[in-house]
Structure formats: C-alpha cells, structure tokens
Structure 1
Amino acid sequence: MSHFNRIKTKINNLSILKATLRELGYNYSCEQRYIKDLNGNTQTVDIIAENNQENLLGFIWDGHEYNLIADPQMWEQPLSFECFFDNMMQQYAVKSIHYTSIKEGFNELSQERLPDGSIKIIIQRWS
C-alpha cells in the first residue's frame, strides 16, 4: 500500500535547501502546492522538488524546520530513496558549514570526499 512518509530533518535554512536541491539536479517551486502518492492521495507542501517526474517530493515548514514528504513507492530514480535522502542531508550539511564559515570570516581551503563517503573540509581564518 502506498502512502506518504514524513521525515523530520534538521533543515531550517531555505536558501541552503534550494542550493542543495539545485546541486543535486532538482528543480523546485517555493509555492504551496500538493503532491500525490501512488493511490492518488494528496498532501499540501510548501516546496516541491522534481527531477523529470512531476511533484516528486515536498517539504513542509513546521515552524522550526522543513519535513520531507514523499511516497517512496513512487521513487523511480537511479539512487534509492534512502541514498538520495542521505546524500541530500550530507550536501545540506556541507553547504551549511560553508555558509556559516564564510559568515564568520573563514575561507575554505579544500574539500575532499573520503573513501568512506564522508567529506573533509579544511577552513582557515587569519587574525
């Protein structure tokens, strides 16, 4: 049986979320619309992201952070839904670190993906 999954996230910065979605190859719309599950049920969302599929996934603002809304059974992408979610959260975290470090006066020296899939970021600030 198909249904929506609501996944809590720590995503609270819309600009970084939009940049993350763009980097992952997703188009998005920041207007309230709805997405459908496999059974035709609908869910109103604040942001819709799509990648060659109509209304692929959505995000709902709960006052503190964005929750991801999707029907994993409708997911027909090269990566599994779980891999996509992990990758999205990792990219969001990297972009958050980058944004915050620049805001605090740091410069990024390098960024490297390690064999285990983690990302090593080196930043510095001259005083």
Structure 2
Amino acid sequence: MSHFTNMKTRFQNLFYLEKALNRLNITHNKQKKIQNNSNLIIPQANGHNIEFSWNGQEYELIVDMSYWLQDYPIETFLDKIAQQYAGEVIIGESKKLGFQPIKYQQNQDGSNTLVIERWNEKS
C-alpha cells in the first residue's frame, strides 16, 4: 500500500531547482503539465519516482517513503538541494545586478563559499 508524503519546500523557481539538481548530479526529467507548469521527476530504480510538483506557490516534494532509494535520508536530501538552490538563486539574481561569480567552492564541512564581484564603472 502506498503512502505518499508531500513535503513543502521553498523552491519557487524551476530554473534554479534544475540547476541545483544538476550541480548535485541528480538525474531528473521535466514533465510538462497542462497549465504551463512543469514538474521534475527523479527516477528511482524501483519505479517509485520522486517528484517535485508545482502546487501554485512552490515545488513540493512528493514521494512514497516506503520506496525511498536515495543514499541519505529525505531530510538530508532536501537540505543538500536547498543549499545548492540558494547558491544558484544568489548567482542568478546577482548576475542580473551586474555581479559576476568569481569562486564557488564546496568546503569539507559541507558549506559552500561563493564570491561575487562587480566593478564600479562610474569611477
């Protein structure tokens, strides 16, 4: 018997969510929905896939916990994605303001270091 779990997230931008999954080397596919929204599907070997589904406000994680096959618990899985998502949002939005990423590094303690710069063209 399946027991799907819907977990709320703060992921509101599909582009940045995809970039975060790519950075973590998590294979995923886009599934186009009728209302101009796409869901992201993370295939699992057992056929019980993980899904990020748009609920009108954010991409919530939908998964049957009985069939979880990832290397780490769901909380850790979401934390890793959230950390990369935040970095992608910072990079993407700062580029819109004229900043350029200089350094993006994952540290041994699991944190990330991001350095961005922007030159003042008026001086």
1:56 aligns with 2:49: yes
1:97 maps to a residue whose letter is I
Measure the CA separation in 2 of the matches of 1:126 and 1:53.
51
Deviations 1:9-64 (A, max 9, x none): 111111111222233321212224xxxxxxxxxxxx93322254535211221222
Measure the CA separation in 2 of the matches of 1:93 and 1:10.
10
SS in 2 for 1:69: strand
Unaligned residue ranges in structure 2 (runs of 5+): none
- CA-based RMSD: 2.2
1:6 aligns with 2:6: yes
More moved, 109-118 vs 6-15: 109-118
Measure the CA separation in 2 of the matches of 1:64 and 1:125.
32
Measure the CA separation in 1 of the matches of 2:81 and 2:47.
19
Measure the CA separation in 2 of the matches of 1:122 and 1:51.
35
Preserved CA contact (<8 Å) 2:44 2:50: no
Q: 1:81-92, aligned counterparts within 5 Å?
A: 81-92=74-85
SS in 1 for 2:101: strand
Preserved CA contact (<8 Å) 1:26 1:49: yes
After the TM superposition, list the runs of 4 or more consecutive aligned residues in structure 1 that deviate by more than 4 angstroms: none
The TM-score normalised by the length of structure 1 is: 0.76
Unaligned residue ranges in structure 1 (runs of 5+): 33-44
Preserved CA contact (<8 Å) 2:53 2:59: yes
2:89 to 96, 101, 110: 96
State the number of aligned residues: 115
The TM-score normalised by the length of structure 2 is: 0.79
